[in-house]
């Protein structure tokens, strides 16, 4: 039996735009994701999330399902344009009411809310009228919005996450242009990342000054990172793997934990990487009470000679290639999910050990981990054995990391239920609850039933011990 530490947090996660629906109801205004998804050709089958899982109307039923599985914590995000439609100025009382009711419902069922302030759905007005994340003033706009949330919900919410995955916002939103706001640039990702860090820092400073002493909560940020395994044991490949992790995670975590961008980035990006001024550093350095990590997969990393004309093979997911010169690849033997992401539990262990070592073993939470599969609902059941084994093997790897000294304190499955998977629309199912998009009926999958037992026992019997962790 793999037993987890006492008080280990067992959770699941979702985000506002992916599940809520009610896109223009009760005063909510559009976000950049509403606009992006409603622009033809931007999402699979032109899907949007006007209805999504209709969680806005069904949240009590959803909380009941969470209670049924004995969930300890639920991570959700607030739709900025639901509580402050223009992203500045007036607050929407019905938006406040919705999140307030959701929080009360969770607490009434003994489930701790973990609240993300920004999971990619910027109010469209800020994008159109104020240039969104490219505008240095956005840090103040974000802090004002955060102030509204702390003020209304902070009496009951004790775990805050400022931003979800700034890397995705920067690279997929402004580099590759596959996510909202759909821009393609080699420079903007660095500018946007800089403003994301400043916005995070301002919100944290505000929380610490105005609320933390009274409300007694914790605040942090969630970054995402895949593991990078050196392709060979050569010095060049080991350096490439390290460089790749620094461009991916160090980009955001180094300023917060070490007070500056990684040296490899400064050397390679040069003047295109903004400088952190002493004021920025004062704001950002030390601005996280815990380390939030979203992690799914990994790849090999190898050094590339800049004179060779080689491109990344791995789903373009490495950041700006020309700045790194790291070739990513996978082993055809590795099993994959329906995202085509490799299932690599040992990569999870190595990554959290890398984090723990580089950043001084901070309290760490895996705020997302999970697996998309081509699930079938048959006779009221979804036999998602691969998902159960995915979660089981990743948890076994986490357990091993804890034994090795990593200060991992919680784990959230992505996702509580199937939902709108961004550019891939409804074509990918990540949930441990199946959602029938015609009837909106929810069904716990076998993985949810298994996870319920894990929570109950604070551990599990590792049934696939031949798996490398
Ligand atoms: C994360 C993201 C989630 C979810 C998940 C699966 O990057 O935070 O919103 O979509 O990936 O792709």
Q: Which two tokens stand for residue 354?
A: 């890398």
Q: What is the b/e burial string over 350-373, where b = at least 16 CB atoms within 10 angstroms of the residue's CB?
A: bbbbbbbebbeebebbbbbbbbbb
| 171-180 pLDDT per residue, tens | 999 999 999 9
442 pLDDT tier (thresholds 50, 70, 90): very high
**Atom nearest to 165 CA in ligand 1:** 8
Strands 2-3 vs 459-460: parallel, antiparallel or unpaired: antiparallel
Is a pLDDT exceeding 80 seen at residue 316? no
| Beta carbons within 8 Å of 220's beta carbon, 6+ residues apart | 160, 161, 162, 288, 289, 290, 291, 292
| 320-346 pLDDT per residue, tens | 888 999 999 999 999 999 999 999 999
How much is the pTM?
0.98
**Atom nearest to 422 CA in ligand 1:** 10
State if residue 229 touches ligand 1 by the CB under 6 angstroms criterion.
no
| 103-162 pLDDT per residue, tens | 999 999 999 999 999 999 999 999 999 999 999 999 999 999 999 999 999 999 999 999
Report the pLDDT averaged over residues 348-362: 98
Is a pLDDT exceeding 60 seen at residue 314? no
* Residue nearest atom 10 of ligand 1, based on CA coordinates: 421
Q: CA–CA separation, 184 vs 136, rounded Å? A: 19
Angle at 319 between CA 306 and CA 414, to 5 degrees: 150
Active-site residue, from 165, 188, 246, 389: 165
pLDDT value for 276: 98
Identify whether the C-beta of residue 43 lies closer than 8 Å to the C-beta of residue 130: no
What share of the chain in percent tops pLDDT 70? 98
State if residue 397 touches ligand 1 by the CB under 6 angstroms criterion.
no
What is the whole-number distance in angstroms between the Cα of residue 436 and the centre of ligand 1?
Answer: 20
The residues pairing with 364 across neighbouring beta strands, listed in sequence order, are: 291, 408
Q: CA–CA separation, 247 vs 442, rounded Å? A: 39
A 10 A CB-CB count for 213 gives 8
DSSP secondary structure, 222-289, as one string: EEE--EEEESSSSHHHHHHHHHHHIIIIIHHHHHHHTSS--HHHHHHHGGGSPP--HHHHHHHTT--S
pLDDT value for 313: 56
311 pLDDT tier (thresholds 50, 70, 90): low
Is 421 among the residues known to form the active site?
Answer: no
| 234-293 pLDDT per residue, tens | 999 999 999 999 999 999 999 999 999 999 999 999 999 999 999 999 999 999 999 999
Report the pLDDT averaged over residues 92-110: 99
The three-state secondary structure class of 411 is strand
**Atom nearest to 339 CA in ligand 1:** 12
The three-state secondary structure class of 402 is helix
**Atom nearest to 222 CA in ligand 1:** 8
Active-site residue, from 105, 229, 246, 368: 368
Identify whether the C-beta of residue 77 lies closer than 8 Å to the C-beta of residue 118: yes
State if residue 16 touches ligand 1 by the CB under 6 angstroms criterion.
no
State if residue 414 touches ligand 1 by the CB under 6 angstroms criterion.
yes
Q: CA–CA separation, 423 vs 464, rounded Å? A: 33
Please report the sign of the dihedral spanned by the C-alpha atoms of residue 159, residue 120, residue 127, residue 266: positive
Ligand 1: residue of 49, 368, 370 to mutate (most ligand atoms within 8 A of CB) is 368
């Amino acid at each position: 039996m793999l037993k987890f530490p006492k008080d280990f947090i067992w959770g699941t996660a979702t985000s506002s735009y992916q599940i809520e629906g009610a896109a223009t109801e009760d005063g909510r205004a559009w976000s950049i994701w509403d606009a992006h998804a409603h622009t033809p050709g931007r999402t699979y089958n032109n899907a949007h999330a006007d209805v999504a899982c209709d969680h806005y109307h069904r949240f009590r039923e959803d909380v009941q399902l969470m209670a049924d599985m004995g969930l300890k914590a639920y991570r959700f995000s607030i739709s900025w344009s639901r509580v402050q439609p223009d992203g500045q100025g007036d607050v929407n009382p019905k938006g406040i009411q919705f999140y307030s009711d959701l929080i009360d419902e969770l607490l009434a069922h003994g489930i701790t809310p973990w609240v993300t302030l920004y999971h990619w759905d910027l109010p469209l007005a800020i994008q159109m009228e104020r240039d969104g994340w490219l505008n240095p003033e956005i840090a103040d706009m974000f802090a004002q919005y955060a102030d509204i949330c702390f003020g209304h919900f902070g009496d009951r919410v004790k775990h805050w996450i400022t931003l979800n995955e700034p890397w995705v916002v920067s690279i997929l939103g402004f580099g590759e242009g596959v996510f909202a706001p759909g821009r393609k640039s080699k420079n903007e990702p660095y500018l946007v990342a800089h403003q994301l860090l400043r916005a995070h820092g301002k919100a944290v400073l505000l929380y610490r000054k105005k609320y933390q002493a009274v409300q007694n909560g914790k605040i942090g940020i969630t970054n995402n990172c895949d593991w990078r395994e050196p392709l060979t044991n050569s010095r060049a490949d080991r350096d490439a793997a390290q460089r790749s992790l620094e461009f991916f995670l160090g980009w955001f975590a180094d300023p917060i934990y070490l007070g500056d961008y990684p040296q490899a980035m400064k050397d390679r990006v040069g003047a295109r990487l903004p400088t952190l001024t002493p004021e920025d550093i004062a704001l950002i350095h030390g601005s996280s009470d815990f380390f939030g990590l979203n992690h799914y997969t990994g790849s090999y990393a190898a050094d590339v000679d800049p004179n060779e004309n080689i491109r990344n093979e791995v789903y373009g997911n490495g950041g700006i290639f020309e700045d790194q010169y790291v070739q990513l690849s996978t082993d055809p033997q590795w099993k994959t999910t329906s995202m085509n992401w490799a299932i690599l539990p040992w990569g999870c262990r190595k990554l959290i050990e890398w984090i723990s070592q580089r950043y001084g073993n901070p309290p760490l939470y895996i705020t997302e981990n999970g697996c998309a599969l081509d699930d079938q609902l048959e006779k009221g059941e979804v036999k998602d054995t691969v998902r159960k084994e995915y979660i089981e093997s990743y948890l076994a790897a986490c357990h091993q990391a804890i034994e090795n000294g990593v200060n991992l304190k919680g784990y959230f499955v992505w996702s509580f239920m199937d939902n709108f998977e961004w550019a891939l629309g409804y074509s990918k199912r990540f949930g441990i609850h199946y959602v029938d998009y015609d009837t909106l009926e929810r069904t716990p999958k076998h993985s949810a039933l298994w996870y319920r037992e894990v929570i109950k026992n604070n551990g599990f019997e590792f049934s696939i011990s031949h798996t490398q962790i």
